[in-house]
Structure 1
Amino acid sequence: MTKKKATLIGLVAILLWSTMVGLIRGVSEGLGPVGGAAMIYTLSGILLIVTVGFPDIRKFPPRYLIAGSVLFVSYEMCLALSLGYATTRHQAIEVGMVNYLWPSLTILFAILFNGLKSTLWVIPGLLISVTGVSWVLGGDSGLNIADIRQNVISNPVSYLLAFCGAIIWAAYCTVTSKYAKGHNGITFFILLTALSLWLKYAFSDQPEMVFSWPVILKLFMVAFALGFGYAAWNTGILQGHVNVLAAASYFTPVLSSALAAVMLSAPLSFAFWQGALMVCGGSLLCWWATRRA
């Protein structure tokens, strides 16, 4: 396979992942936040067994197996439940934007814990990303502290889960980079996430899952996006132009929000798009700071 073709396959992964906010929210509206997430990760795990295969976890470095499992499962649960617990579709898109703090945080963690070289431009990059998320949470008012506070207080669980998820995913990327040593545990981690969600569903009071054709269609679409997205991304980063894929991935917040707005019929304000562009710009600046170094 040529580098160009592998890079295009990697770009398809970014497109697939950009549909997940809208699709996860759509599934959770019919099957509940926990039941819907459990179904999604179960189907995704089955698809990954077919596309990527099941790894021999006995060969995994112990640190990667333990830390990777805990961090990956925690992140995926935070992401799915933060979207499922959002009170409105518009709020679900806002919650998804909070989650996109992870690219900037990943670079920060790599600098702090993995010795990644960077220039001081990473500091304004981080500040721009945080300001962008705050701008989104301010609604039509933009960077308005009172409106941001009122918005977060209206549903602190969703926003807190999304923020914790961003931190956890940054930690997962850092741990994977340091301890994985070429091993890929994504299939095992996805199935472990599904098992954890089914246990939560079984031992907690959850709404009944109501299946309908639109919900079933979204369920298979998001399982496809998650499962084949990881398979396509692996192909891209192993055989394609990694720098191109890294730069393109930082535009995911804007693409994800646009697709979610269409799928959920939830128009977004001009202030939202301003904040989304700030998140992308801040992430790109952080990435550029490491390239300059």
Structure 2
Amino acid sequence: MGLLSLLSRYKFTLFGVLAVLLWSAVLHIVRIVSEDFGAIGGAALVYTYSALFLVAFSGIPNIKTYPKRYVVIGGTLFVAYELCLSLSLGFANSREQSAQVLIVNYLWPLFTILGAVICKNTQANSILLLPGSVLAFVGVCLVVSGDSSLLEGMLSNIISNPLAFLLAFSGAIIWAIYCNLTKYMSGGHNTISLFFIFTAGTLWLKWCFLDAGFNSGFSFSSVFLLALAGGGMALGYGLWNKAIIGGNMILLAAISYFTPVFSGVFAALILGVSLQQSFWLGVVSVTVGSLLCWQSTRYKNQRISQVQSVLDNTE
């Protein structure tokens, strides 16, 4: 029985690893889909496919069973984040810039930790938190600067397309707020299918209101990539939900912080872009900085638990 339990935990942990890899890859496919169908039209189609996949596997969500406050607040934050993420990729001037804005979006783990500390939901060791935060921000600056000098290259790149970078940065903040609120408002309910439906509906309304249209006609390759992006995104969420049920969350949390590295590798493979040395230095800096911030909370909370244990034993 012990062996079966161990194997089951390994299986769920593997699901989580696969989810992280899927998310790292599928967003680059979303960029290609946006080239075929437009930033808004492509995103609307991807989230529609994802919603259909999720409903097919988990059933039609019953909105009446979910906490109303979470549906309204959590749903709004989720939709806002997904719009910021997908449209920042679609509005990027080039495939290389889409890889850059994606790294900007990966500031969300840092913002999640900072938000939890500010709201006093957790405690952190400032000796690790401060340098970790600085490293993460410097890393993003290196990524955005491209092959030019740090400040000049960063400003030039942002000025060339402020909307894409603003969306990516805003998305990182929104997702951090969502992560901190979900734990306390969701009541343990899995509302991903419902929120994907909300996202798809919002994008279609935006598409109709702006009369955006599609960039090109539907071809076999474009539809295949669309199905791949939508299915991959849905599968990623499905695998992650299974992983958090029975997987090793400490290991999964650590692996998830390497998402910028995986994203850079998949950007080179899927988008076929040649990424500069500054990009990789920035990615490593963001990853190490985020890991330091994560470790700062684990270290502090472990110390508090140890002190509390000693006090309990002396009573």
Of the three residues 113, 121, 127, the one matched with 1:115 is 121
Kept after mapping to 1: 8 A contact 2:137/2:286:
yes
**1:4 Cα offset (Å):** 0.7
Of the three residues 219, 224, 228, the one matched with 1:217 is 224
**1:60 Cα offset (Å):** 2.0
**1:207 Cα offset (Å):** 4.0
Kept after mapping to 1: 8 A contact 2:35/2:215:
no
Mean Cα deviation higher: 61-70 or 229-238? 61-70
Structure-2-length-normalised TM-score: 0.90
Partner Cα distance (1:57, 1:126) in 2? 38
Q: Percent same amino acid at aligned positions? A: 44
Kept after mapping to 2: 8 A contact 1:134/1:275:
yes
Give the equivalent residue in structure 1 for 2:306.
Answer: none
Gaps of 5+ in 1: none
Of the three residues 256, 260, 263, the one matched with 2:267 is 260
CA distances 1:233-272 after superposition (whole Å, capped 9, x unpaired): 0110111101111000000111012112211111101110
Give the equivalent residue in structure 2 for 1:8.
Answer: 14
Give the equivalent residue in structure 2 for 1:192.
Answer: 198
**1:117 Cα offset (Å):** 1.8
Partner Cα distance (1:54, 1:289) in 2? 40
Alignment of 1:124-273 (within 5 A): 124-141=131-148, 144-210=150-216, 211-273=218-280
**1:180 Cα offset (Å):** 1.1
CA distances 1:189-215 after superposition (whole Å, capped 9, x unpaired): 001000000000011031434222222
Mean Cα deviation higher: 213-222 or 270-279? 213-222
Q: Between Structure 1 and Structure 2, whose CA radius of gyration is higher?
A: 2
Alignment of 1:12-161 (within 5 A): 12-113=18-119, 115-120=121-126, 121-141=128-148, 144-161=150-167
1:242 alignment partner AA: M
2:82 alignment partner AA: E
**1:3 Cα offset (Å):** 0.5
Kept after mapping to 2: 8 A contact 1:134/1:148:
yes
Kept after mapping to 2: 8 A contact 1:19/1:222:
no
The SS at the match of 1:140 is coil
**1:114 Cα offset (Å):** 5.1
Provide the aligned C-alpha RMSD in A: 1.3
1:185 alignment partner AA: T
The SS at the match of 1:19 is helix
Aligned positions, number: 292
Partner Cα distance (1:149, 1:207) in 2? 32
1:278 alignment partner AA: S
The SS at the match of 2:210 is coil
**1:26 Cα offset (Å):** 0.3
Gaps of 5+ in 2: 301-315
Kept after mapping to 2: 8 A contact 1:114/1:178:
no
Partner Cα distance (1:205, 1:54) in 2? 30
Partner Cα distance (1:287, 1:127) in 2? 14
2:22 alignment partner AA: L
2:256 alignment partner AA: S
1:81 alignment partner AA: L
Structure-1-length-normalised TM-score: 0.96
Kept after mapping to 1: 8 A contact 2:117/2:123:
yes
Kept after mapping to 2: 8 A contact 1:117/1:290:
yes
